[in-house]
Structure 1
């Protein structure tokens, strides 16, 4: 599962937690509803000062331990993709051991 998959899985859970948004978009087309949900989700991540994929993990992880593990795995994959040594990446991104 990648960041896009995480976000898609999280959006369904996110809208359930946001009845105000549900009411606001009720009369929109399905496509427009999805767009509005995605934009609100992105705004929520920005308001929390985190990346969208990180917010997605908070919605799809079933336990705090799973959330921690998923975040760590995502960062390790990012370091590998970028070709950066894990310890260097961890230090640069303030990721605890």
Structure 2
């Protein structure tokens, strides 16, 4: 499993590899502008799929359905902890199975 801090970057790499037309379209921009355009395109893709960007990132990097599930649960647990909510309360509030 890819380390948490590397997941978004790994997902962006896969996204860029799958979208060569986007890279060609933005090649004349500065590196910073290219990065911003890629982030926006990534966010747009997530929205088109009805996902949050972090969910799309996990889908792109997961090696199996089991790994995707484990990373999703891990992310939700981190959010619950950051919010100071118990896991049970968080699951209930977000309609997640416990």
Q: Number of residues paired by the alignment? A: 96
Deviant stretches of 4+, over 6 Å: none
RMSD: 1.6
Alignment partners' CA distance in 2, 1:48 and 1:57 = 13
Q: TM-score, normalised by structure 2?
A: 0.85
1:20 to partner: Cα distance: 2.1
Q: Which runs of 5+ in 2 are unaligned?
A: none
Three-state SS of the structure 2 residue aligned to 1:27 is coil
Three-state SS of the structure 1 residue aligned to 2:92 is helix
Deviations 1:30-79 (A, max 9, x none): 22211111110011112222211111111121111101100011101111
Partner of 1:56: 57
